[in-house]
Structure 1
């Protein structure tokens, strides 16, 4: 059995280097966590890409929330990042009724040109999770759902996550479940025992919230916990 995936949010080069030093497998690159993570600049992506050799999943979001905002600008950013060397992405949008905004999601899936991508926690805020999965099932490149199982976090979503894991391999349930959002260390042993194999953290590997950098020692402790 391959070891579980451990993904860490990075905003800066020092974040990325500390995450790699501590044993992260992959980084999610964002800026502006006050807005829950927006698209990094091209220069910011390039600097991190030059500093580490981990896979990088780059956020595509222009404003807080789950509406795309300027879709043309997001698609242009995706194309520019792709040209700069980005190979993996994170995005996901809902319409006013809580259904997937297929116009926006399809446009970005086309803009990233078949690259692998994560549909992020928009699924936790949707009106119908199963409908989201069904609507996205055939989109090229989608290989991961980042989810806590609930908008309130993992503590409230574990039963939902378990139900979705039980459907792994079925249409709409083939992408990997990447657990993140209110994920605490005490959740991990139970989740690993249940068969989950991908975990995502951000603030949990920082000493004083988003204003502090990633702590390599905290990353290493999470790595050891996830590996069991």
Structure 2
């Protein structure tokens, strides 16, 4: 696994998860309500998916569309319930109105995660200062990944930022893996792989028939082969 890029696929349910694993996904991001760009799934959905596949599974902790935390007590409660159900990896990320990381909300949720590994999601693409955000989060326990397109407009617009950040890996604030997603296309891979990016995240690209249809194992396999 360490010698090849990681391919993460968005899953909404057991059918998606099984197809993604069959196609060669290395990890799943489990969410609900993609109309709101992905919210926290139910405890029951997590349990069913966890029982159906054996690849790593990161669970979204997000209650509302946008990047404000919303009621932090409810986020904390959901985190606690998912941990009790056996969740071990998570996805989260909250911004204050000024575009800085909402450290109070993030730390409140992390208090329930017990050092579990987690991804800071595409809130980074809406941050007022990406570099400052990274440095403000660098010492938080468990943070090992940034899911980013490099731009709020998607990977096509963000490629220069992604290439630059890949070149800074190991600097303070840049130790976490870049997981590139958000309008990612196969045509973007040569530049990203050439820059040393080793994490890729797909949602719509795994569903040739759209979000109303399940993940396609063959579509996932196409990406896995491209990253082999």
User: TM-score, normalising length from structure 1?
Assistant: 0.98
Partner Cα distance (1:216, 1:86) in 2: 24
The residue that corresponds to 2:112 in the other structure is 111
The residue that corresponds to 2:76 in the other structure is 75
SS in 1 for 2:165: helix
Aligned residue pair count: 227
SS in 1 for 2:104: helix
Alignment of 1:58-97 (within 5 A): 58-97=59-98
The residue that corresponds to 2:25 in the other structure is 24
SS in 1 for 2:227: helix
State the 1:193 CA deviation.
Answer: 1.8
The residue that corresponds to 1:187 in the other structure is 188
Partner Cα distance (1:89, 1:161) in 2: 22
Partner Cα distance (1:71, 1:205) in 2: 32
The residue that corresponds to 2:101 in the other structure is 100
Conserved in 1, the CA contact under 8 Å of 2:167 and 2:195? Answer: no
Further displaced range: 204-213 or 88-97:
204-213
SS in 1 for 2:48: helix
Root mean square deviation, CA, Å = 0.8
State the 1:208 CA deviation.
Answer: 2.1
User: Deviations 1:64-97 (Å, cap 9, x if unpaired)?
Assistant: 0001112111111111101111000000000011
State the 1:33 CA deviation.
Answer: 0.2
User: TM-score, normalising length from structure 2?
Assistant: 0.98
Further displaced range: 207-216 or 115-124:
207-216
SS in 2 for 1:172: coil
Partner Cα distance (1:192, 1:162) in 2: 9
Partner Cα distance (1:209, 1:74) in 2: 29
SS in 1 for 2:87: coil
The residue that corresponds to 1:4 in the other structure is 5
User: Deviations 1:101-136 (Å, cap 9, x if unpaired)?
Assistant: 111111111111100000000000110000100100
The residue that corresponds to 1:136 in the other structure is 137
The residue that corresponds to 2:53 in the other structure is 52
Partner Cα distance (1:49, 1:173) in 2: 31
The residue that corresponds to 2:176 in the other structure is 175
State the 1:223 CA deviation.
Answer: 0.4
Partner Cα distance (2:185, 2:208) in 1: 14
The residue that corresponds to 2:224 in the other structure is 223
Segments of 5+ residues of structure 2 without an aligned counterpart are none
State the 1:150 CA deviation.
Answer: 0.4
Segments of 5+ residues of structure 1 without an aligned counterpart are none
Partner Cα distance (1:154, 1:176) in 2: 16
